[in-house]
Amino acid sequence: IEDTGPLTKKRMESCDTEFVAAAQDFIKRAHADEQPFFVWLNTTWMHLRVHPPEHTRGQAGRWQSFYHDVMVEHDKHVGQMLDLLDELGIAEDTIVMYSTDNGPHMNTWPDGAMTPFRNEKNSNWEGAFRVPEVVRWPGKIPAGAVSNEIISHTDWLPTLLAAAGEPEINEKLKQGHQVVDKQFKVYIDGYNFLPYLTGEVDKGPRKGIIYFSDDGDLVALRYDNWKIVFAEQRVQGTLQIWAEPFVFLRVPKIFNLRTDPFERADITSNTYWDWFLDRAYLIYAAQFIVREFLTTFHEYPPRMKPASFGVDQALKKMEEAVQSN
């Protein structure tokens, strides 16, 4: 690990180019040594705020912004990584997954992206959680295939390890398993999607997902096409979303994400609450699923507390630090 200096505004113009070059160098050396490799390439462009180098400005066209200029440059970087795999002749032996960590910061538009889904990052709505995901594995994953299955980033740990010859990692970690020089006994929420991605089965293993806030609050549950909202962010936009608390509902809201993918029904429909009453039984099913999930914390408690911007949490940490001394 080498400290290469602070990430100044000026360096933000070129740091992604540095990261891509370093990733390519790592792959070339691993290939030369006939060693397997894992690369997690985290770029800074497409996150607010962008600082495009001079030669890229305007390349997206007259009606676009700096954000779109660096998007074009980012696309070139992705192409460079894929081209390298082809040049080395290892594309068919390499799984490539492209995605992002959360929905957009629409409050900084035109930086920070845009989404058709409701709200944005740091809310309970789909705009906070829905992200694109593209996977390439020539000869194994059919090219051009489109899936509507539910998948989470947590699924990639068991999926990639299964592809590498370790299909039972979830069960091993639950029982207690040593990885290199560390011992783990943890519950992995992810599923092995390898059989689905390679076409061995027609359906993915994941039936639902639980939504958590940045503070670790359980705010919603999705099962199949149904979404049950336990706590909602009522601020519609701007950075105020980060300042205002979630409203925990006495009765959860229900959405059908197939017929109402943008979660508009509770705002626009005159008949939403009648529709809700006919489906209120779903709340009981949701409570059962959540209870089953929470019971796993008894044997496998959280390994760390979530971060918080709240002053009460900061004061609590200070108090704990004083007491420990």
Contact yes or no for 206/217 (Cβ under 8 A) = no
Over residues 265-323, the pLDDT tens digits come to 999 999 999 999 999 999 999 999 999 999 999 999 988 888 776 666 666 777 777 77
Predicted pLDDT at 306: 80
Predicted pLDDT at 112: 87
Helices marked H in 89-184 — which ranges? 126-129, 156-163, 169-175
How is the chain split into domains, by residue range? 151-206
Average pLDDT over residues 158-182: 96
Taking the alpha carbons of 145, 148, 153, 158 in that order, is the dihedral positive or negative? negative
**Going by C-beta distance under 8 Å and a sequence separation of 6 or more, which residues neighbour residue 78?**
98
Average pLDDT over residues 163-184: 95
Contact yes or no for 124/219 (Cβ under 8 A) = yes
Structure tokens, 79: 């192409």
User: How far apart (Å, rounded) are the C-alpha atoms in residues 63 and 76?
Assistant: 20
Predicted pLDDT at 229: 98
Taking the alpha carbons of 117, 119, 121, 122 in that order, is the dihedral positive or negative? negative
Predicted pLDDT at 132: 93
Place of tokens 């990261």: 19
Prediction pTM value: 0.90
User: How far apart (Å, rounded) are the C-alpha atoms in residues 276 and 265?
Assistant: 10
Over residues 66-112, the pLDDT tens digits come to 999 999 999 999 999 999 999 999 999 999 999 999 999 999 988 88
H or E segment to which residue 178 belongs: strand 177-179
Predicted pLDDT at 303: 84
Structure tokens, 271: 């008949």
Q: What percent of the chain has pLDDT over 70?
A: 97
SS (H, E, C) 245-277: CCEEEEEEEEEECCCCCCCCHHHHCCCHHHHHH
Over residues 131-142, the pLDDT tens digits come to 999 999 999 999
Predicted pLDDT at 323: 78
